[in-house]
Structure 1
Amino acid sequence: MRRTSAAPNDTPKRSPAEWLRGVGIAAAAGLFMGLAGAFGSDAAPLPLRLAYWVGMMVVGGVWGHVAAGFVQRRGWFGDRVWLQAALMIAVMTPPLTVSVWLATAWTFGAPLQLAALPWFFPPVLMVAAVMTGVNLLAGRTHAGPAPAPEQPAEPPRFLERLPLKLRGAELYAVESEDHYLRLHTERGSDLILMRLSDAVAELEGIEGAQTHRSWWVAKAAVADVRRGDGKAQLTLKNGVEVPVSRTHARALRAAGWY
């Protein structure tokens, strides 16, 4: 009975494990009620009681799953599972009342009197409500706790250092110029006062790498790679050319940059 809101005819089918779990719960309940002689059945022989109660509870469990599928396929009440459960009980109870009335007369040899039919409705309703609640709770327990909502990842700290005119722009590269860093972005470039080593530490979260002692480059910003004489050179989307030093070349090749 675990469902999320969905459009009619767009809910997933109940898995075989759900069916088996529901039928198993119903059979266990029937065994208990047979042993206890529930609803005045204690006068009947134990084997007869067990056959009656286990059989009726399994029939009720199967019919309950059919009713659950009927309600959930139509998406009634959305995520309000207890309202769904109430509707399932309302769908289940009338036909089950007739089934119990007929089975009781046949099993225990009672006279089949139409006037007695309404008296079967309250106990059938009560059992249907209890079993629906048990199945609902069992389904939730089996599913485990709901996963915690994912927290949005915080942007790299370095992006907060971008000058106002570059805020929100895609960062292509960071170039060291004396005590300053030149920030290359899709909206142009600008300088900030900072060391490259500190910038690299704050750029964690963006896929990129240091290509030279004076350069850090975002991998997504690389438009072209040229190699020759044992050296490599990257061309960024904005046309800026970035050197690749021998110190960093092997790591970049291993990471699939070229």
Structure 2
Amino acid sequence: MGSGDENLKVADVAAAPRWRWRRLLWLPVLLAAFSVLQVVALRFIDPPLSTVMVWRYGEALGQGDWKYRLHHQWRDLDQMAPSLPISLVAAEDQRFPLHNGFDLQAIEKARDHNARGGRVRGASTISQQVAKNLFLWQGRSWLRKGLEVWYTLLIETFWPKHRILEVYANIAEFGDGIYGAQAAARQFWNKDASALTPAESARLAAVLPAPRRYSAARPGPYVQRRANWIQRQARQLGGGGYLQDD
């Protein structure tokens, strides 16, 4: 065998690892492109499920709960009572029409509150909640938080505020296995989401911090107090008109 052939073999061996590394460098680019396509497509396509729904269903089966059922029916925002979206905003994210996915004022207030001790307060916007509930897994990690930020930026870039709120109202959990305002209205009051009263809308929004712990159908003192507060906040924000220019 000549020295030329040996040199070619050595060069091929050295080039192989470099080629593998170059392919690996393309992986983040491909994943980023896929996430952009996901978000753009879901601006126009109503998601039939969210990762939270799938995760919860798998969790129930893992615990041997074979009778567990998911209740979910999509409704466009204009097929819901006007009191429902403003109640969600009043309860969860009052600066929703004004921020770009991250409410810096709320983050600062939550940081000051938590530094004083007591019950921990969060500052997740509706956009952030859509990002993590629709696309991401349960749990806490720096990777998950980073992806939440990325998906929030994509959602705010490619979706109008109306679409963000519409998806949120359809994937939020209002009871154990009950996702979206339509399923909640049917399960709790045997009516469509379009027929929800302001009081019922406020009660749905009131249970969102812990929908498996609190009941909108049979509200205890905490839920009732919070629902009353949500109704007052919704009126102070200007009712449904607060969301018309989003």
Q: Structure 2-normalised TM-score?
A: 0.24
Identify the structure with the greater helix proportion.
Answer: 2
If you compute each CA radius of gyration, which structure gives the higher value, 1 or 2? 1
Identify the structure with the greater strand proportion.
Answer: 1
Q: Structure 1-normalised TM-score?
A: 0.23
